């Protein structure tokens, strides 16, 4: 049975309860919502990841900046993800660019629309994904900027679809190749750098990558960027993208295709024939290289003549490795802004 209480008594009790709560506890209660918001922002600085059907895929992507700004598409490689651009995006967005950062097939929240689609990692297919992504978002023309697989895709689009590319920023320069060129032996030191490609060529390598992809990819980060002192939080944030159910199949097919050990799809044959001719790139371009890149990469002098339009090469110093956008975000963002002014 409840006993009634007067208004005066109610306020007296309330005051007593509040007086009994330590000041620190009251502050904790008041700040709890703010702390949760800050934690959420730190874990996902891009905000909600968006999804869009594009070609064969439902693509996950981050978006930032004004809708009427010049479109910029930032493309990651292996074994990295959209967080390679976590500090590049706010720089570009704050200066008026409309920035898009898609997960490559086999990464993050990007998924194939059909279980029956061949899990193809050949470079032309990955580049066509970007064209389909642009079409889905009704982006007629964009500045394309990337590294590793992302630089290769950007190079391919700049060479084969120049009307879709306003400008190009490519880490490690001209990365267009073919199965024929991939069969040519390299000097021993260069072959040694590609050790993981040969590991992936055998079933043991595929199974090993599937079983140990977290530790394997962390090792690649360390070898490719030997002077970058990333922490576990930074790596784990990106490593979540490698849990994609198609990740291993895409990665293994990509590297086996390069060596001619796996077939591609016939619908890309015409594109591959054109790429095998090593087409020049005529769109405004800036190539970048880190002074401590531990991953296989060509010497800038070997590809300078492949860029026949307005072109500049920049060496980024300070112990910068393979993941240049994340290690030197200001230099990468500046290249995007500068190529826009070419």
Q: Burial of 188 by CB count in 10 Å (0-12 exposed, 13-18 middle, 19+ buried)? A: exposed
- Residue 1: DSSP 8-state: -
| DSSP secondary structure, 157-179, as one string | HHHH-GGGEEEEEEETS-----H
H-helix or E-strand containing 287?
strand 285-290
The Cα 129–Cα 139 span in angstroms is 13
Query: CA-CA distance, 188 to 186, in Å (whole number)?
Result: 6
| Cα angle for residues 22, 29, 8 (degrees, 5° grid) | 65
Q: Please enumerate in sequence order all residues whose Cβ is within 8 A of that of 197, keeping only pairs 6 or more positions apart, or say none.
A: 255, 258, 259
Alpha-carbon Rg of the chain, whole angstroms? 24
Cα 270 from Cα 153, distance rounded (Å): 16
Quick one: tokens of 150? 């992302």
Q: Find out whether 268 and 124 touch, Cβ atoms under 8 Å.
A: yes
pLDDT in tens, the chain (342 residues): 333 334 344 334 343 333 444 444 444 434 444 444 444 444 578 999 999 999 999 999 999 999 999 999 999 999 999 999 999 999 999 999 999 999 999 999 999 999 999 999 999 999 999 999 999 999 999 999 999 999 999 999 999 999 999 999 999 999 999 998 888 898 999 999 999 999 999 999 999 999 999 999 999 999 999 999 999 999 999 999 999 999 999 999 999 999 999 999 999 999 999 999 999 999 999 999 999 999 999 999 999 999 999 999 999 999 999 999 999 999 999 999 999 999
What are residue 282's phi and psi, to 5 degrees? Answer: -105, -10
DSSP-based three-state secondary structure for 71:
strand
Length of the chain: 342
Helices (H), the chain: 7-20, 23-43, 88-94, 123-136, 149-160, 179-182, 188-193, 195-200, 203-224, 232-239, 247-258, 269-276, 324-327, 329-341
pTM of the model: 0.87
Please state, in angstroms and rounded to a whole number, the distance separating the CA atoms of residues 116 and 105.
15
Structure tokens at 79: 């074994």
Q: Please give the Cα distance from 86 to 123 (Å, whole number).
A: 25
């Amino acid at each position: 049975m409840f006993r009634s209480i007067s208004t005066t008594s109610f306020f007296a009790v309330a005051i007593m309860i509040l007086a009994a709560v330590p000041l620190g506890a009251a502050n904790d209660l008041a700040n709890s919502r703010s702390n949760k918001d800050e934690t959420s922002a730190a874990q996902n600085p891009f905000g909600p990841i968006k999804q869009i059907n594009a070609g064969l895929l439902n693509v996950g992507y981050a978006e930032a900046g004004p809708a009427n700004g010049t479109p910029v598409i930032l493309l990651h490689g292996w074994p990295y993800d959209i967080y390679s651009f976590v500090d590049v995006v706010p720089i570009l967005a704050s200066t008026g660019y409309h920035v898009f950062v898609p997960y490559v097939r086999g990464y993050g929240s990007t998924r194939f629309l059909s279980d029956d689609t061949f899990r193809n990692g050949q470079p032309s297919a990955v580049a066509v994904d970007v064209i389909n992504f642009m079409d889905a978002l009704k982006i007629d023309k964009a500045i394309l900027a990337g590294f590793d697989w992302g630089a290769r895709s950007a190079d391919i689009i700049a060479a084969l679809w120049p009307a879709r590319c306003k400008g190009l920023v490519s880490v490690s320069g001209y990365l267009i190749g073919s199965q024929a060129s991939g069969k040519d032996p390299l000097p021993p030191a260069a072959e040694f750098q590609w050790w993981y490609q040969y590991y992936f060529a055998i079933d043991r390598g595929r199974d090993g990558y599937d079983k140990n992809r977290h530790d394997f990819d962390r090792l690649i980060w360390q070898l490719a960027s030997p002077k970058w002192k990333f922490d576990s939080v930074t790596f784990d944030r990106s490593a979540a993208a490698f849990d994609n159910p198609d990740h291993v199949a895409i990665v293994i097919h990509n590297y086996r295709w390069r060596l001619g050990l796996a077939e591609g799809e016939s619908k890309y044959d015409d594109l591959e024939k054109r790429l095998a001719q090593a087409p020049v790139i005529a769109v405004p371009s800036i190539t970048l290289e880190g002074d401590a890149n531990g991953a296989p990469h060509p010497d800038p002098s070997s590809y300078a003549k492949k860029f026949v339009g307005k072109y500049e090469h920049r060496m980024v110093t300070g112990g910068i490795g393979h993941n240049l956008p994340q290690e030197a975000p200001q230099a990468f963002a500046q290249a995007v802004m500068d190529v826009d002014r070419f």
